[in-house]
Structure 1
Amino acid sequence: MTFTPLSAAVSHVGKIRSNNQDSGYAGRHLFLVADGMGGHAGGDVASAIATKRVAEADEDYAAAVDAESALRSAMIAANSLLAETVFEHSELTGMGTTVSGILRVGDEVVLAHIGDSRIYRFRDGELEQVTADHTFVQRLVDSGRITAEEAAVHPRRSVLMRVLGDVDATPEIDTKILDTRPGDRWLLCSDGLSSYVSEDKLAAILASVRSPQTAADRMVKESLDHGAPDNVTVVIADIDAGDVVAVSEPAGFVGSASAPLMFDGAEDERRPIRLPTLLLHPLKSTPPEDTHFEPEREEFLEQLIEEDRRRARRRRITWLVVVAVAIAAIVTAVVLAYQWTQTHYYVGVAEDGTVAIFQGVQQNIGPISLSHIEQSSEVRVDDLPTFERRQVEATINADDLRDAHDILDRLSRLVDSAAESSAVP
């Protein structure tokens, strides 16, 4: 029988990291992504162990509630397995992983999620994020303290509040049941994709690329083209009218879960890193740092919130200083410009029809005149000869105040000469 490929899983180490701490899985009913944390203390091991354990839940379930219970139990079991692994291999202390997965049951999808990997549903041309990031900055966004745009560049944007690992024996896992229908496309990804490629771009790829494999490859390429230094993992699952069938070959693991686990005897090669001093996802222009995990303790949240308040105060003070400097610069420029206009003089016609010396320039800024009468005279413009009258009406520029007086004296003499000539019988 020939099967139509309805899903794909791709994982890439990224541009800077030396090992892939992500894992992905595309099965018959189950699809998931895990993003390991702990750096050389076992992020790759954590994601691989969790992925392989949760993948055991890839079965056919009679009802969505049964699948939800099984998926939650699988993730709790994976958490216990991570704790046991750390107990047996102390060099892995501090390792942890995010896990985000969907399990299809008929026309419903069961979702289980912990951490900051993401699950999206693409339906009728619209991309919707159906998971919430378990990060500190997402809490700030949810509480209205910062905007989503500010969260994207916040220095604490990748401080995780929940993960699977050796910290909490009963981690809080988000689960829910959503409807699905033929034509839906489900996208699961680590933050190596979501932190570097916009949702608009992701939607455009899902809308225009029919093949899940090609679409996943395109997304990884987009992330790398945007300079993503972190690991990138993408899983795409399309929904058809029947059962979801991955490919004609066995279900596939990608990333660290696709390779044998290697941690025996590695204690001398690994540097133990204890929670909470782990993984911070990097800026595009900097090498990747280890992500920080912090359990949801009130004192720690208050500490981070106070730190954010200080950042907000510094940002407001900086903004006010910048605005004040800009206003001062504008005022200074206006004053200097006005002073420059007052070094100019010209001869023109006053409102009463007499010739006058004006200080300033022959322009207005709205209702504000940039000139005023410096000296009036008794010379009427109508008494001037035609040529000089037209010159005065158009204004005569003067080199300085003395030159303006000379021009006015000359015009006065012309009027006097004209009057004397007319008085001679």
Structure 2
Amino acid sequence: MTIGFASAIGSHVGMVRSNNQDSGFAGDRLFLVADGMGGHAGGDVASALTTKTMADIEGQPTGDAVESARALKAGLLDANRMLRSTVKDRPELAGMGTTFTGFLTVGDQLSLAHIGDSRLYLLRNGKMRQVTRDHTFVQRLVDSGRITEEEAKTHPRRSVLMRVLGDVDSSPEIDTEVLDSQVGDVWLLCSDGLCGYVDEPDIEKILRRRTTLEGAVENLIDKSLAAGAPDNVTVVLVEAIPAPIEPDQLPGPRFAGSAASDIPGGEHVSTARNRLLGRRRPPRRVQPVEESHFEPRVDEYLAELIAETRRRNWRRRVLWLVGVIAVLATIAGALFLGYQWTQTRYFVGTDGNSVVIYQGVQQSIGSLDLHSVAEDTDIPIDALDGNERRQIERTLSASSLEEARDIVTRLGVHEDDE
């Protein structure tokens, strides 16, 4: 079945940054998100230049889906060379770079190109999944089993990118893939300003409950703003519909973020509600966003991580051992003090033959008796009358040895008749 694609796009600077380093594009066949890095001086330039360069591909013949994927990759390599050349002309932009995640539609297929940590998600039959894999240091750690997905969300190196376009790598490795689409699919392209601060179940819920694509874009951006939105956030939604859209019904190319800054009317892609929120900053303090940066030295980072892990594990073992020793010492001290207290007590009982004064208490801990013989009175148990004998057999408690002796003295002893 021939299908068409409807789309919506939006971008917001967020609540902390002073400029938008994200860029986005939604055309007739090409859809993309680029997240710039390199600080105020270069991130916005890198993402905008890359977005505008790649937008030109839409009007070029690209063949089938496989050829389109190759065309996207070739375009990104050209954009990378352009960024490096720009830095030569403007040295103050040294170190700038950008992520890129985007696709061209070819019939009922998508030609995908991806580098960095912007993401592509697919909502199909009410279930959302992440399609792309982040090119980040923490993702390497997750893939190698060194940390979990949950640990990756708060890892101190979560902003370290291993692959980007820009003035950092002359031959970046770009992932390409051909994906099948079907009617009802919703494809979400976003910068980490969304997926880094809004949980995936919340994103999925918004997509499932959408009434329009534009409304869903607003809700996704607003959800990020509600979370504090310390980073720029850019969202592109593309939905596969039953029939192709007529050319006169296509909305035309729309830029967002820094790529829209010099296009008259370009900023309309940020919703009125978002612009209002942008002016009315939240009263709570939000954590400053950590700048993403490129780091190709994977082996050195892994070695450093291993060393840190060993130090952390050693500290944990020491703390655990100290804790165990402290607990055992507390228990031993409590047992010792408890035992000492029992030895201040006495009771009068019998060993089965005679009346005996015991030091301690009647109880035992396992095979350990908490009492011992203090004095054997040599008074036969049979010499006591019935009531006193029963009392002695049940034992009589005393708070001191003298009190125990007084109890023995008061016993009525009867001599056997000869």
Short-chain TM bin: 0.7 to 0.9
Distance 1:53 1:287 in 2: 31
Q: CA 1:315/1:64 → structure 2, altered by over 3 Å: closer, same or farther?
A: same
**How many corresponding residue pairs?**
386
- Measured against aligned partners, the alpha-carbon deviations of 1:188-246 in whole angstroms (never above 9, x if no partner) come to 11112222222233223323334333333333333333334111222222222233799
Question: 1:98: which partner in 2?
Answer: 99
Question: 2:305: which partner in 1?
Answer: 308
Q: CA 1:351/1:114 → structure 2, altered by over 3 Å: closer, same or farther?
A: farther
**Matching of residue 330 in structure 1 with residue 327 in structure 2:** yes
* TM value normalised by structure 1: 0.78
State the SS of the aligned residue for 2:53: helix
The code of the aligned residue for 2:309 comes to: A
> Counterparts of 1:159-170 in structure 2 under 5 Å?
159-170=160-171
Question: 2:360: which partner in 1?
Answer: 359
Instruction: Give how far 1:289 is off.
Output: 3.7
2:25–2:55 contact (8 Å) kept in structure 1? yes
Instruction: Give how far 1:108 is off.
Output: 1.6
Question: 1:112: which partner in 2?
Answer: 113
Structure 2 unaligned blocks of 5 or more: 264-284
- Measured against aligned partners, the alpha-carbon deviations of 1:119-151 in whole angstroms (never above 9, x if no partner) come to 111223332222121122222332333333333
2:7–2:26 contact (8 Å) kept in structure 1? yes
> Counterparts of 1:71-220 in structure 2 under 5 Å?
71-220=72-221
Question: 1:409: which partner in 2?
Answer: 405
- Measured against aligned partners, the alpha-carbon deviations of 1:131-190 in whole angstroms (never above 9, x if no partner) come to 121122222332333333333333222221221113434322110011221222212111
Question: 1:258: which partner in 2?
Answer: 260
**Matching of residue 341 in structure 1 with residue 338 in structure 2:** yes
Distance 1:10 1:209 in 2: 15
Distance 1:303 1:111 in 2: 31
Instruction: Give how far 1:316 is off.
Output: 0.8
**Matching of residue 45 in structure 1 with residue 45 in structure 2:** yes
Q: CA 1:231/1:408 → structure 2, altered by over 3 Å: closer, same or farther?
A: same
2:28–2:250 contact (8 Å) kept in structure 1? no
The code of the aligned residue for 2:323 comes to: A
**Matching of residue 371 in structure 1 with residue 367 in structure 2:** no
**Matching of residue 32 in structure 1 with residue 28 in structure 2:** no
State the SS of the aligned residue for 2:67: helix
Q: Sequence identity of aligned pairs in percent?
A: 43
Query: Aligned-residue CA RMSD in angstroms?
Result: 3.5
Distance 1:103 1:395 in 2: 95
Instruction: Give how far 1:351 is off.
Output: 8.1
1:23–1:255 contact (8 Å) kept in structure 2? yes
Q: CA 1:209/1:333 → structure 2, altered by over 3 Å: closer, same or farther?
A: farther
The code of the aligned residue for 1:371 comes to: L
Q: CA 1:389/1:139 → structure 2, altered by over 3 Å: closer, same or farther?
A: same
The code of the aligned residue for 2:46 comes to: A
1:135–1:160 contact (8 Å) kept in structure 2? yes
Distance 2:393 2:307 in 1: 65
